[in-house]
Amino acid sequence: MPNYFDGTDRGSSLIVSEEVLLPDFVPDELMHRERELQAIADSIKPLLTRRTPTNLFIHGASGTGKTTCVKYLIKQLMEHSSAVLPVYVNCWENPTQMSIYNRIVEEMRLPLPRRGLAADEIFDRIMQFVRNYKKPILLVLDEMDGLRHDKLLYVVARSNEQKLSFGIVGLSNNKALLSKLDSRIRSSLRFSEMEFAQYSEEQLVSILRLRAERALAPGSFDERFLRKVARSAECGSARVAIERLWKAAKHAEKAGRGKIMLQDLEDALGAEPEFKLPELKLSSEEVLLVEILKGGELGSSDIYERFIRKNPMTKRQIRNYLELLEKKGILVSRELPAEGMLRPKMFKLR
């Protein structure tokens, strides 16, 4: 029997810096987001002198650079000053009040007793740290729709009423998320909203060119190929475009070629699964609707009935999520003939 690890690649002549094409990479230059970067930085700056910041809610489609921009600014903030403690939390990975407290404690490097502490005890430790070191916390809540309830925000809002302790930056694909929050939380935290628009084809091409120049060997790609990758990315998503550039490069490398061909991209696209929910960065409500529709085409009344069994909501709220999924190109709808003002719809996954 052969050893299946024989012939393992000891170094690629095509991909010279693969990390540049991976999802968590934060480049040292962000293109086409200068205005957004400046606005986010301006909202955070007051924390440096222990003044009240502008809490931000950033929304926009997946792949528009929301997370990358905020991580880029966190890095700059840490290089500039130690007067603020930035804490980044992905709320899908840390959906509970306790898990987010633990993330904050990790960044503070506070030892906790082995017996464990209740949530309010941990929060008391966090507040004591803020008071002792006079260091407010910049709490970044990415995928904010992943929070299971808004008690965390309520506690943070109450603590800020007594003394400035937190600045909040929330990120989500769901523009309507703020409207779900308790009115007391909204009035206390007073979020300002910022929308990240989708990238144009030309912007995507320039982003891909910069990544390709840093990640791939000279002469291994051309402008025609980059434009084809940009056009393949749904909804102007830089995340999708960069991933497809990486997959096409890996495909060409595996075939032993020194240049990526259009066929490499076609083969990479053909190997993609039909739905990749984690990469689509959908809200929990959107994921539930996709799961319901995986069984085939359904009418709006059937969708409402199945949805409400697992997540009690009004028909208007469910309809809003259906419209969001349709705008993202994940599902399609058609109207049924009917008399009167109400026209029932049928929905199915694209």
- Which tokens go with 212? 């390709």
> What is the chain's alpha carbon radius of gyration, rounded to the nearest angstrom?
23
Q: Closest Cα partner for 348 from 301, 289, 304, 305?
A: 289
- Reduced DSSP (H G I as helix, E B as strand, rest coil) percent helix, strand, coil of the chain, to 5: 50, 10, 35
pLDDT per position as a tens digit, 285-325: 888 888 888 777 888 888 888 888 778 888 888 888 888 88
Looking only at the bridges linking them, the beta strands covering 56-60 and 331-335 are unpaired
Report the alpha-carbon distance of residue 323 to residue 28 in Å, rounded.
Answer: 36
The answer for residues whose C-beta is within 8 angstroms of residue 162's C-beta and 6 or more apart is none
Element containing residue 285 per DSSP (H, E): helix 284-293
Element containing residue 229 per DSSP (H, E): helix 223-232
Looking only at the bridges linking them, the beta strands covering 345-349 and 331-335 are antiparallel
Give the three-state DSSP class for 24: coil
* In the chain, where the domains are located: 34-196, 199-270, 282-349
Looking at residue 341, what is its pLDDT?
47
DSSP of 103-150: HHHHHHT----TT---HHHHHHHHHHHHHHHT--EEEEEETGGG-S-S
pLDDT tens digits, the chain, 350 residues: what are they?
A: 777 667 655 555 899 999 999 988 999 999 999 999 999 999 999 999 999 999 999 999 888 999 999 999 999 999 999 999 999 999 878 888 999 999 999 999 988 887 789 999 999 999 999 999 999 999 999 989 878 788 999 999 999 988 889 999 999 988 888 988 899 999 999 999 999 999 999 999 999 999 999 999 999 999 999 999 999 987 788 998 999 999 999 999 999 999 999 999 999 888 765 555 555 667 778 888 888 887 778 888 888 888 887 788 888 888 888 888 887 778 888 877 654 445 678 888 87
Q: Closest Cα partner for 198 from 329, 85, 88, 56?
A: 329
- Which tokens go with 306? 């199945």
Residue 329 and residue 234 in contact, taking contact as beta carbons nearer than 8 Å: yes
CATH of domain 34-196: 3.40.50.300
What CATH class is the domain 199-270? mainly alpha
CATH of domain 282-349: 1.10.10.10
CA distances from 124 to 21, 118, 138, 155 (A): 41, 10, 17, 11
Assign residue 111 a region (left: φ > 0; alpha: ψ between -120 and 50; beta: otherwise).
Answer: beta
137 pairs with which residues across the strands?
85, 166
> pTM, whole model, 2 decimals?
0.78
Report the alpha-carbon distance of residue 69 to residue 76 in Å, rounded.
Answer: 11
Looking at residue 1, what is its pLDDT?
72
